[in-house]
Chains A and B, each alone.
Chain A
Amino acid sequence: MLIGLLAGVLSGFLGVGGGILMVPALVLLFRFPQSAAHATSLAAIVPIGLAGGISFAVAGEVAYLPALVLSTTSIAGAVLGARLMARIPERSLQGLFGAALLLAAVRLAL
């Protein structure tokens, strides 16, 4: 369960949710099916994002207007994404996640 701690550090450090660490851990170490790993990762992301977000907010490092606009559409997007999952086979979901990790790597390295 060190994974949770690591995901949190990464999340607070880089401003991301930590899912790029938790999903691989759940699939590769805990043998979760891809879909369950994605769903469970989101459950953990809620408190992690909250803790990180509050830390930044306390330091005054938050832009509230963009946050509000982004949240409005991202909530609808998340529900759509969750629905979309039912139409995607596990294997394709794995491929999509792998591709997303590679893109994330490129973005982090730059």
Chain B
Amino acid sequence: VTALEAVATALFGALAGILSGLLGVGGGIVMVPYLGLALGLDQHVAEGTSLLVIVPTAMAGVLAHARRGRVDWRTGRLLGILGVFGAIAGAQVALVVPPTVLRRVFAGFLVLIGIRFLRRSLSPSKDVGAPAGE
């Protein structure tokens, strides 16, 4: 590992962390391409490494949010428990199948949802939802 790689990796970690804490995502979407393209890791290794980093990152983020009363633990727990089964299944599939087609389908889905969020953000009258737990 060169000094440049170490500094770049630290910077990408910080970027992924900020995105994670602010946007409620894991940060894998920036880490996987970085690990694959910049560090030259194999796609599977990049995904596995990203998942490991996501754990302490999300933990730090959720604790910071919980202090401010933003976490709905009941819903989070339910999603998390079901997600565990999904994650194990997904990982088994990923380890044997090239994910190109699924990725493209999912990308199309994200474009639709992304546009919807942008429109909500710009529309003057749409409600932004009730407070958590109500």
Contacts and interface: CB of A to CB of B under 8 A. Distances in A.
Contact of B51 (A56, A64, A85): A56
Contacts of A99: 114, 118
A57 B86 CA distance: 17
Contacts of B44: 56, 59, 61
A79 to B, nearest CB: 5
B48 A51 contact: no
B130 interface: yes
The contact size tier of chain A is: 35 or more
A15 B48 contact: yes
Given A12-B94, A59-B48, A46 B35 contact: no
A9 B50 contact: no
A14 B99 contact: yes
Interface residues of B, number: 102
A16 B39 contact: no
Contacts of A46: 55, 58-59, 62, 80
B103 A53 contact: no
Nearest to B16: A74
A99 B122 CA distance: 12
A79 B87 contact: no
Nearest to B44: A61
A101 to B, nearest CB: 3
Interface of A: 1-20, 22-24, 26-28, 30-53, 55-57, 59, 61-67, 69-86, 88, 90-109
Given A24-B117, A44-B75, A82-B64, 13 more contacts: A11-B51, A13-B93, A17-B26, A27-B129, A36-B132, A38-B23, A47-B84, A63-B48, A66-B49, A67-B52, A71-B13, A81-B61, A95-B117
15 contacts: A11-B26, A12-B90, A14-B90, A20-B110, A26-B75, A40-B72, A40-B73, A52-B51, A61-B48, A62-B45, A75-B60, A77-B18, A82-B68, A100-B19, A101-B114
